[in-house]
Chain A
Amino acid sequence: MPKKDAELETKLVHGGFEKDLETGASNVPISLSAAFAHDSAEQISNVFHGRDFGYVYSRIANPSVVALEQHVNLVEDGRAAVATASGMAAMAILIESLASVGDEIVSSKSIFGGTYYLLKEVAENQGITVTFVDTCDVEQYRAAISDKTKAIFCESIGNPKCDVPDLKALVSVANESGIPLVVDATVTTPYLMSAKALGVHVVWHSATKWISGAGSAIGGLIVDLGHFDWRVSKSEKIATLAKQYGLLAFVNRCKRLRSNKGAVLSPFNAFLLAQGFEHLAFRMKAHCDHAMALALFLQDHPAVESVAYPGLANDEGYPIAKQQMRYGFGGLLSFRLKTPKMAYQVVNALKMVKNLANLGDAKTLVIHPASTIYRDLSPEDQKAAGVYEDLLRVSVGLEHPEDIIADFQNAMEDLV
């Protein structure tokens, strides 16, 4: 196991797992068991009561999943972590853990389409009012908060708009109101940004994306970063749990919801995601380099109207991204062609780059967000989320950057 003060790359490789105590296996064993046997009635009762260590049923806790939770908690330097069936399961649990009927949430407008639907439709059906504000306008967040607001949500880099909120400023707004700032850091991953160092209260990831790195496993991760005192939480159910669980009340609330709803991560996916962590640092460096190379190419292309990538010195998000991020600016970019027809033409002419709805794969991926992920948003909501009819989103992969650029160059040849 790495030392407590080990560098991030070392923690990413080793996680919190030393070896399997019975076999010496150096990788986390995949515990494909629904339930776990005990030696006596007393022992299982002690486990149920939390007086003894043990597993009972994989909907409640599973060794492979717990190992992944310890892994992400170590790399985020958190208080405790919760793994979920998917990124959306993580977000649904976060909403319900923090807010109930009659409560309010303030969210950035520039968010993933699935998150938007979850807030707009599912949360509102649960009697939670969501106010959407401009991602980068700190005063809009402050103005939208009422005494019923229970949390602020945003993404570390907006998907697909690639805008960058000032997280330290949003932490201050949240602290003024005594509510947590919850950040979806899927695009920045634990490697490119330390959410804890910025003061963020809760960070979550769709681990399906860059943490998996292979487009193979669906999963979500929530980490309580230890900055929030849940004993004085404005969320009623967490405040009640805090009487018993103290500062662990938030994570316990999330785990209870996960268990009650059955939104658990499969042990097999936990294994795959833990493997992803081992080489996350080196993959992210390459994703960043390749995305920068493609952004610079697109920026100079005559058929391109504009490029959104926070690593470009002329990008609006660059000054904040430079402060908040480390090692690079991520693998996500978006760009506008001059017409919607041109956007379709590019997608259809790409030979190597895959046209599919995912991010963070080793392969370069492209999609036309307006007609797919964001199809049900009104034109006004699409515009607010930075989704234009001529916009393409690219998740830049690990192929040789010259091959990635060449595919776009060939696909865009006839547009000029």
Chain B
Amino acid sequence: MKLKINGEEETIDRETLTVTDLLTVKEVKMPDMVSVELNGEMLERDTFETTSLKEGDEIEFLYFMGGGMI
């Protein structure tokens, strides 16, 4: 499946993939703390397991440690 992750095009060797799966595959640091934006929409954390990704999806992994660093 081809995805755009943090602005870079990548191919993940899976036919089906949830957001939780992607966090594992990509070995995302501190997965309990990451926020995930899918095609410009911030996802609710409790939907990570049920949100399936599809070809061409754009995903951003973001950490809002202090509500945006200031």
Query: Which residue numbers of A lie inside 8 Å of B, CB to CB?
Result: 16, 47-56, 59-61, 66, 70, 79-80, 226, 244-248, 251-256, 258-260
**CB neighbours of A253 from chain B (8 A):** 67
| B12 proximal to A (CB < 8 A) | no
| Given known A-B contacts A79-B45, A248-B42, A256 and B34 have beta carbons under 8 A apart | no
Of all chain A residues, the one with the shortest Cβ separation from B6 is A51
| Given known A-B contacts A61-B65, A256-B66, A256-B67, A246 and B41 have beta carbons under 8 A apart | yes
Bound CA span A260–B66, Å: 10
Please encode chain B, from 47 to 63, with 1 for each CB lying within 8 Å of some chain A CB and 0 for all others. 00000000000000111
| B32 proximal to A (CB < 8 A) | yes
Bound CA span A51–B36, Å: 11
**CB neighbours of A51 from chain B (8 A):** 6, 61-63
Number of A-B contacts (CB under 8 A): 79
B58 to chain A, nearest CB (A): 15
Binding site secondary structure of chain A = helix
Contact yes or no, A52 B68, CB < 8 A? no
Bound CA span A60–B62, Å: 16
Contact yes or no, B42 A246, CB < 8 A? yes
Contact yes or no, B33 A66, CB < 8 A? yes
8 Å CB contact of A53 from B33, B46, B68, B69:
B33
8 Å CB contact of B65 from A55, A70, A226, A244:
A55
Contact yes or no, B69 A48, CB < 8 A? yes
Contact yes or no, B70 A256, CB < 8 A? yes
Further contacts, 13 of them, CB under 8 A, given A79-B45, A253-B67: A47-B63, A47-B69, A50-B68, A50-B69, A51-B62, A60-B69, A60-B70, A66-B65, A80-B45, A245-B68, A248-B64, A256-B68, A259-B66
Contact yes or no, A50 B70, CB < 8 A? no
Of all chain A residues, the one with the shortest Cβ separation from B28 is A53
Contact yes or no, B63 A247, CB < 8 A? no
A24 to chain B, nearest CB (A): 17
8 Å CB contact of B44 from A52, A56, A226:
A226
| Given known A-B contacts A226-B44, A248-B42, A60 and B35 have beta carbons under 8 A apart | no
Bound CA span A286–B29, Å: 41
Bound CA span A258–B70, Å: 10
B30 to chain A, nearest CB (A): 5
Contact yes or no, A56 B69, CB < 8 A? yes
Bound CA span A66–B66, Å: 10
Bound CA span A260–B6, Å: 28
Of all chain A residues, the one with the shortest Cβ separation from B67 is A255
Of all chain A residues, the one with the shortest Cβ separation from B69 is A48
**CB neighbours of B33 from chain A (8 A):** 53, 66, 70
Bound CA span A256–B68, Å: 7
B61 to chain A, nearest CB (A): 8
- 6 A-B pairs within 8 Å (CB atoms) are namely A52-B63, A246-B42, A248-B35, A255-B67, A256-B66, A258-B67
8 Å CB contact of A70 from B6, B32, B46:
B32
A338 to chain B, nearest CB (A): 52
**CB neighbours of B63 from chain A (8 A):** 47, 50-54
Of all chain A residues, the one with the shortest Cβ separation from B66 is A60
B64 to chain A, nearest CB (A): 6
Contact yes or no, B65 A56, CB < 8 A? yes
Of all chain A residues, the one with the shortest Cβ separation from B62 is A50
Contact yes or no, B70 A260, CB < 8 A? yes
**CB neighbours of B32 from chain A (8 A):** 16, 70
B60 to chain A, nearest CB (A): 9
Contact yes or no, A61 B66, CB < 8 A? yes
Bound CA span A245–B66, Å: 12
| Given known A-B contacts A51-B6, A53-B29, A53-B30, A252 and B69 have beta carbons under 8 A apart | no
Please encode chain B, from 10 to 39, with 1 for each CB lying within 8 Å of some chain A CB and 0 for all others. 000000000000000000011011110100
**CB neighbours of A246 from chain B (8 A):** 37, 41-42
Of all chain A residues, the one with the shortest Cβ separation from B43 is A246
Bound CA span A256–B70, Å: 7
8 Å CB contact of B29 from A48, A52, A79, A245:
A52
**CB neighbours of A70 from chain B (8 A):** 32-33
